[in-house]
A and B are shown apart, each in its own frame.
Chain A
Amino acid sequence: MSAGENGDPDGRINGIKSALRVIPNFPKPGIMFQDITTLLLDPKAFKDTIDLFVEHYKHESISVIAGIEARGFIFGPSIALAIGAKFVPLRKPKKLPGEVISEKYILEYGSDCLEMHVGAVKSGDRALVVDDLIATGGTICAAINLLERAGAEVVGCASVIEVPDLKGRERLKSHGKELYVLVESQFEPTTQ
């Protein structure tokens, strides 16, 4: 579901949406890049972002917030602190020290890999995956696989932005996972 489904009575979602910006042709031509860094320059909008996630999940008995490197690290820890959950970073290969488990996943061209510490989550943990944006859902699915392999139950996935045309939500649904987003992506390019 998206946060705007029940309207936006206090204008928080509107504030968040207007704090985002779109950069065309980044990182390569044809891609409209959804930039969340401008959201972070607006302390009220940033706080509202975290509050909306916390309000949605605080009664779900979540014990683990898994954040995907690197922009998931910006949102995940604050949610974890607010609900008293552990924060687990999911990282590119060779960044985490010590023993890790790896999950390979397919990109448009080639493949990539996500890693998690052995012992970070255990059977019985209820986990939420957090990232700034969901596109095709490939990265988030890799994150779900890592958590489930370690025995955790993935309660849902949350991101600030969804790009609906890339069908990430459907992909998660086919894995039985719920997606919660605050904003659907805007396509109008913005000048700087």
Chain B
Amino acid sequence: MIEKPQYNFVNRVEDTYPFDQITLDNTIRFINPLLPSEEFPHMMNTLQISLAALALVSALAVLNPARYFFNGNSVISPNTLARASSPSVNPASISPLDSGDVSMKDDRIARISSTIRIIPDFPKPGIMFQDITTMLLDPVAFKDTIDLFVERYKNKDISVVAGIVTIRGVHQTAQTAKPPAPHRTTPYNAIWNICGVEARGFIFGPPIALRIGAKFVPMRKPNRLPGAVISEEYSLEYGTDIMEMHVGAVQAGERTLVVDDLIATGGTLVAAINLLERVGAEIVECACVIELPDLKGRDRLGDKPLFVLISSN
């Protein structure tokens, strides 16, 4: 009759199995506690407890690196444990902001990132789709997203009186697409235009434009914009697509941002950049909520800087 201990916190095989029952098989089971055992099918010994604890700590460390491996430059990872429910949500690793007050923005980016969900195999198998619509359901996260962009691009020298920004001059009639002439005291480094790429760029671009007093210029699929347009053909994985912009929406020399929800390969943003350069605009930066760095979109932008809130591997 083998005496089975109720709690076994020793780590010697001789204390787990009676001496005359120490066999090669039992010893192997002792070393690898994950193997089921007839005598002790559910009992955990010290080794099993240690391994379980180590696995838990490792999992926590992976999901919260800033907590366990402090790096002065990194931003806190999102708390994905609270959101681990179907449809699947994966942690998005965070890239540090390259300027500005990082410590203040940490909490906001963590919240924003935790609201973005990932839909696997959309629009086709193998693609992990970053869905920002869940962020739009969280008014604080959406507002924080816009605030982060506005803080970067708002020229603090522009006087804002009761929300009316001084970028206006002659009031234009409906006949032309020409924008109002700039006010003389507007600083030269103000942003004139936000270009948003259809359709998710339409969600983020206009709120930023409204806050910084810039024009919003939609860039659309073919045959959507009425009137005179210029078109740019660009490559997709299979085949090509066309992006269009209104003639006269952007004037030569105007400082311009391009905004989209996400940059992947960068093909769409490059098409937008080409359209703007054809009319002589000065492209200050491309701004996206999410970057997929593995797809190397940033490199395709060439000399055009890219600013993102979240970098997702």
Residues of A within 8 A of B (CB): 15, 17-23, 26-27, 33, 35, 37-38, 40-44, 46-47, 50-51, 69-71, 73-75, 77-78, 80-81, 84-89, 91, 94-99, 117, 120, 186, 190-192
- Report A-chain residues with C-beta under 8 Å of the C-beta of B214: 43
Contact B210 A78 (CB under 8 A): yes
For window 184-216 of B, CB contacts with A under 8 Å fall at 198-200, 202-204, 206-207, 209-210, 213-216
Contact A73 B226 (CB under 8 A): no
14 contacts between A and B (CB under 8 A): A21-B175, A22-B174, A37-B246, A38-B176, A40-B216, A43-B215, A70-B224, A73-B200, A74-B202, A77-B207, A78-B206, A81-B146, A88-B137, A94-B123
Contact A87 B122 (CB under 8 A): no
Tell me the bound Cα distance from A47 to B214 in angstroms: 11
- Selected contact of A27 from candidates B172, B174, B203, B223, CB within 8 Å: B223
Quick check: is B287 within 8 A (CB to CB) of the other chain?
no
Q: Which of A38, A43, A71, A84 has the most CB of B within 10 A?
A: A43
For window 152-190 of B, CB contacts with A under 8 Å fall at 163-165, 167-168, 171-180
Contact B249 A37 (CB under 8 A): yes
Contact B198 A40 (CB under 8 A): no
- Selected contact of A46 from candidates B136, B139, B209, B246, CB within 8 Å: B209
Tell me the bound Cα distance from A18 to B174 in angstroms: 5
- Report B-chain residues with C-beta under 8 Å of the C-beta of A27: 223, 226
Contact B168 A19 (CB under 8 A): no
Contact B227 A192 (CB under 8 A): yes
Given known A-B contacts A40-B217, A74-B216, A87 and B136 have beta carbons under 8 A apart: yes
Q: How far does the Cβ of A130 sit from chain B's closest Cβ, in whole Å?
A: 12
Quick check: is B300 within 8 A (CB to CB) of the other chain?
no
Contact B142 A42 (CB under 8 A): no
Quick check: is B24 within 8 A (CB to CB) of the other chain?
no
Q: How far does the Cβ of A182 sit from chain B's closest Cβ, in whole Å?
A: 14
Tell me the bound Cα distance from A38 to B224 in angstroms: 14
- Report A-chain residues with C-beta under 8 Å of the C-beta of B174: 17-22, 38, 186, 190
Tell me the bound Cα distance from A15 to B172 in angstroms: 9
Tell me the bound Cα distance from A81 to B140 in angstroms: 9
Given known A-B contacts A87-B142, A97-B123, A120 and B133 have beta carbons under 8 A apart: yes
Contact B203 A42 (CB under 8 A): no
Residues of B within 8 A of A (CB): 87, 117, 119, 122-123, 129, 131, 133, 136-139, 142-143, 146, 163-165, 167-168, 171-180, 198-200, 202-204, 206-207, 209-210, 213-218, 220, 223-228, 246, 249
Q: Which of B146, B175, B213, B217 has the most CB of A within 10 A?
A: B175
- Selected contact of A97 from candidates B119, B163, B224, CB within 8 Å: B119
Contact A73 B202 (CB under 8 A): yes
- Report A-chain residues with C-beta under 8 Å of the C-beta of B167: 43
- Selected contact of B131 from candidates A15, A70, A97, A190, CB within 8 Å: A97
Q: How far does the Cβ of A36 sit from chain B's closest Cβ, in whole Å?
A: 10
Tell me the bound Cα distance from A87 to B133 in angstroms: 8
Contact A37 B225 (CB under 8 A): yes
- Report B-chain residues with C-beta under 8 Å of the C-beta of A80: 136, 139, 142
Contact B226 A40 (CB under 8 A): no
Contact A23 B216 (CB under 8 A): no
Contact A46 B210 (CB under 8 A): yes
- B138 (CB) vs chain A CBs: closest residue: A86
Tell me the bound Cα distance from A139 to B297 in angstroms: 36
Contact A21 B177 (CB under 8 A): yes
Q: How far does the Cβ of A27 sit from chain B's closest Cβ, in whole Å?
A: 7
Tell me the bound Cα distance from A93 to B176 in angstroms: 34
- Report A-chain residues with C-beta under 8 Å of the C-beta of B203: 73, 77, 87, 89
- Report B-chain residues with C-beta under 8 Å of the C-beta of A26: 226-227
- Report B-chain residues with C-beta under 8 Å of the C-beta of A15: 171
- Report A-chain residues with C-beta under 8 Å of the C-beta of B218: 37, 40, 74
- Selected contact of A77 from candidates B136, B178, B220, B225, CB within 8 Å: B136
